[in-house]
Amino acid sequence: MVRLGIIGFGYWGPNIVRNFNGIEGCRVTRICDKNEESLRRANKIYPEIEKVSDCKAVISAGDIDAVAVITPVSTHFELARRALENGKHVFVEKPFTATSQQAEELIELAERKNLKIMVDHTFLFTGAVRKIKQLVDEDVIGKVYYYDSTRVNLGLFQHDVNVIWDLAPHDISVMDYVIADRPEAVLATGANHFSDHEYVAYVTVYFPDHIIAHLNVNWLSPVKVRTTLLGGEKKMLVWNDINPDEKIKVYDKGVKIQNKEGVYDLLVSYRSGDMWAPKVEQTEALRLEAEYFVKCIKEDQTPFNDGNAGHRVVKILEAAEESIKQRGKLVYL
């Protein structure tokens, strides 16, 4: 039985408690929040779980095996570090840490202590992303040429981070999961009228061999868009996360380009065939992730969304931040 303590019962915390509490082999034994109102809410839903306001009662408790850190990113490092030092596995809300150096320290610490880190990249456990990963792994898509995502809507303007840190972690974690290669460099442009934090941003990620990814994130869009195009050698794919029934469409479309010998011209042939929308599993992503965390602990298995995955995402966020502050300077990773 994994005894889990939760730190942070704000917006996302209740989902964490509900999902971890519902799975076999795991019990949420303590909920911690500095905010009294949050604890009152927790008490109403989970009267049977102990509530505390001091995180020490979770981090250094003898009767807790793992800690879920569901607090603002600026506090992740300190809380996770202390939990690891006290021998707890950690489940950390995304983005993993505020800097890549913090991520490296936590990874090193966890390895030394032989503990698990899981970063809550929830999207990787959705039916849609699992299906995309499968299609790429089974070589249905072929070599991935580009990854182009748009994640825009009206609000919520964050006070402490820009739109990249708020919205892009989702897309970067999926991109990192789906594209096997490691990115070389990052570049971001964007704008702001309202504060120091950009409300709109465009992030380009360069991979080796002419592979490219691009993210369009925006807090000031009149419409909500959650669309990713994936261009592949064999098939192309559109993931529209807003469509309730046909989230993924796979197109038998593409080009074949031959350089004619001794000639300047290209020979381009276009292919346009059927479209196919595979059924996508509906199970709640966070439930699957919670089960996976418990399984990784029990079977001493390294999660694919471990500290290293979290670190890779933070590296890109950090680089994008550096780039956008210098009007799109190219930042090598």
Tokens of 42: 């927790």
First to last CA, the chain: 40
Give phi and psi for 279, each to the nearest 5. -65, 140
**What's the CA gap between 175 and 177, in Å, rounded?**
5
Of the pair 145, 304, the CB lying nearest a second copy is at: 145
Could you give the 3-state DSSP secondary structure of residue 247? Answer: coil
Site string for a second copy, 37-66 (x = CB under 8 A): ------------------------------
Give phi and psi for 14, each to the nearest 5. -55, -35
Of the pair 180, 266, the CB lying nearest a second copy is at: 266
Instruction: Look at residues 6, 241, 37, 264 and name the one whose alpha carbon lies nearest to residue 123.
Output: 241
* 182 C-beta neighbours (distance < 10 Å), count: 11
By CB under 8 A, name the one of 246, 298, 301, 302 that touches a second copy.
246
By CB under 8 A, name the one of 11, 268, 299, 300 that touches a second copy.
268
By CB under 8 A, is residue 266 in contact with a second copy? yes
As measured in angstroms, the least distance from the Cβ of 40 to a second copy is 16
As measured in angstroms, the least distance from the Cβ of 313 to a second copy is 20
As measured in angstroms, the least distance from the Cβ of 21 to a second copy is 13
In degrees, rounded to 5, the angle at the alpha carbon of residue 97 between the alpha carbons of residues 62 and 159 is 115
Site string for a second copy, 271-310 (x = CB under 8 A): -xxxxxxxx-------------------------------
Long-range contacts (CB closer than 8 Å, 24 or more residues apart) made by 43-46: 45/14, 45/17, 46/17, 46/21
Cα–Cα separations (whole angstroms), residue 190 to 75, 163, 199, 274, 323: 26, 9, 8, 37, 10
Listed ranges 23-31, 76-84, 250-258, 301-309: which one lies at the site for a second copy (CB under 8 A): 250-258
Of the pair 90, 236, the CB lying nearest a second copy is at: 236
Of the pair 66, 238, the CB lying nearest a second copy is at: 238
Q: Which helix H or strand E contains 223, and what residues bound it?
A: strand 220-232
In degrees, rounded to 5, the angle at the alpha carbon of residue 228 between the alpha carbons of residues 222 and 234 is 150
By CB under 8 A, name the one of 54, 222, 261, 299 that touches a second copy.
222
Could you give the 3-state DSSP secondary structure of residue 213? Answer: strand
Site string for a second copy, 174-213 (x = CB under 8 A): -----------x-x-xxxxxxx----x-x-x-x--xxxx-
* 298 C-beta neighbours (distance < 10 Å), count: 12
As measured in angstroms, the least distance from the Cβ of 22 to a second copy is 13
As measured in angstroms, the least distance from the Cβ of 146 to a second copy is 6
Could you give the 3-state DSSP secondary structure of residue 42? Answer: helix
By CB under 8 A, name the one of 85, 104, 105, 148 that touches a second copy.
148
The residues that touch a second copy, with contacts defined as CB under 8 A, are 145-146, 148, 150, 152, 154-157, 159, 185, 187, 189-195, 200, 202, 204, 206, 209-212, 214, 216, 218, 220-224, 229, 231, 236-238, 245-246, 249, 251-255, 257, 259, 264-266, 268, 270, 272-279, 327-330
